[in-house]
Structure 1
Amino acid sequence: MDQQVGIWRLHTDGAARGNPGPAGIGVVLIDPRGQVAERVARFIGTATNNVAEYTALITGLQRALEHGARRLEVYSDSELMVRQLNGQYRVKNDGLKPLYRQVLDLVARFDAVRFVHVPRERNKDADRLANQGIDDAGER
């Protein structure tokens, strides 16, 4: 299967210990054959959980584009973010508005993107990576 034509899967998660507090992001990008193309665990400094969620998504979208993905299904356990991106909720928080616009700009570069809310249990790898990003920062 041509990787650019098939559907890629992206699992993202953001975590903050405290709100705001030390925050990390987790990203798992899976190619159309079901192989993990990339995993990201990164500390992003002090942020709210919602900022971490959006930052993880932005990172995942950027990585998917760099891998040549054209069609993407995005899985997140952030019900707020998924509903905002699906047009069910408005983005009212001024701190999230620029991140939301950045997501829309990235989404426009794909042929198709679908956002799906999943329970935390179905997003364990991304959750683990987000927490690993925070933990790794504490070891510096």
Structure 2
Amino acid sequence: MPSYIIENGEKGRWPEELIIHTDGACRGNPGPSSIGIVFSRLDLETVYEYAETIGSQTNNFAEYFAVKKAFEIALSQQVLSVHLKSDSQLLIRQLTGEYKVKSEGLMPLYLDCRSLVQKFKRVQFEHVRRE
């Protein structure tokens, strides 16, 4: 399956603090997967949108991959603080240390995300319900 990337928004100066919504999805589990990310100012004005197909993965892999990509993009734009919102309760609870990561397949992504967190001045995690 070929990879597709869609990007929409600013490539100029971004604010130092952002709200980031991430989501990962797959058809079947595992199955064809994709991620979506929306970067917003604190007033909720969208700065940038990113979507990518990531091949056949599990839903949890896709959720983690979305967060990793979001952090990488934010850091590349010199963002200092992020408020990350995700509908994956498992992901949020693992990244905040409330749950342990038991899946060997997720551990490398988890460690990458935790390493990226250290590069920000501040990261806030929030679980948001699916609507």
Relative to the length of structure 2, the TM-score reads: 0.86
Relative to the length of structure 1, the TM-score reads: 0.80
Q: Deviations over 1:80-111 (max 9, x none)?
A: 00000111100010000000000011111000
Q: For residues 44 and 120 of structure 1, what CA distance do their matches in structure 2 show? A: 22
More RCO (CA 8 Å, sep 6+) = 1
Please state how far the C-alpha of 1:31 moved relative to its aligned partner.
2.5
**Aligned CA-pair RMSD:** 1.3
Q: 2:80 aligns with which of 70, 74, 94?
A: 70
Aligned residues: 118
Q: Which residue of 2 aligns with 1:35?
A: 45
Please state how far the C-alpha of 1:33 moved relative to its aligned partner.
4.7
Q: Which residue of 2 aligns with 1:102?
A: 112
Q: For residues 98 and 68 of structure 1, what CA distance do their matches in structure 2 show? A: 24
List gaps (5 residues or longer) in structure 2: 1-13
- Which structure: greater strand fraction? 2
Q: For residues 102 and 64 of structure 2, what CA distance do their matches in structure 1 show? A: 14
Q: Secondary structure at the match of 1:101?
A: helix
List gaps (5 residues or longer) in structure 1: 122-140
- Which structure: greater helix fraction? 1
Following TM superposition, the consecutive aligned residue runs of length 4 or more in structure 1 with deviations greater than 2 angstroms are: 31-35
